[in-house]
Amino acid sequence: MIKIYHNPRCRKSREGLAIVEASGNDFEIINYLKDVPGKKELRKVLDYLSLSPEQLIRKNEAIWKEKFKGKTLSDDQLIEAMLENPKLIERPIVIKGDKAVIGRPPEKIIELLK
């Protein structure tokens, strides 16, 4: 089953969802702003993406600039920041099996679903 961590207000996330829908595969939509993943789940997503917590953070978000920019934070602190402020999580994230991509550009999703 494919999972998509989705923000319906984000244009790129909507584009990613359209690609997943068009693939014909079964999928689950996770609105991560409402259903915030737990620490264990977020760590698993990071493993699937092969990224560090810092690489998953949207650094142009106002909350990042106001609360975290310029600070030296551990991976655990970065994960806590994302869990407390899920808008900081890059999107969309599409997971298939034990592989995942951030759908920027959306073509990455097409490659994953092949």
**pLDDT for res 49:** 98
**pLDDT for res 30:** 98
Q: Which residues are catalytic?
A: 10
By DSSP bridging, strand 2-6 and strand 27-31 are: parallel
**pLDDT for res 35:** 96
Give the CATH number, domain containing residue 61: 3.40.30.10
- pLDDT tens-place string over residues 13-54: 999 999 999 999 999 999 999 999 999 999 999 999 999 999
What is the tally of structural domains in the chain? 1
**pLDDT for res 8:** 96
Range of the domain at 53: 2-113
- pLDDT tens-place string over residues 61-105: 999 999 999 999 999 999 999 999 999 999 999 999 999 999 999
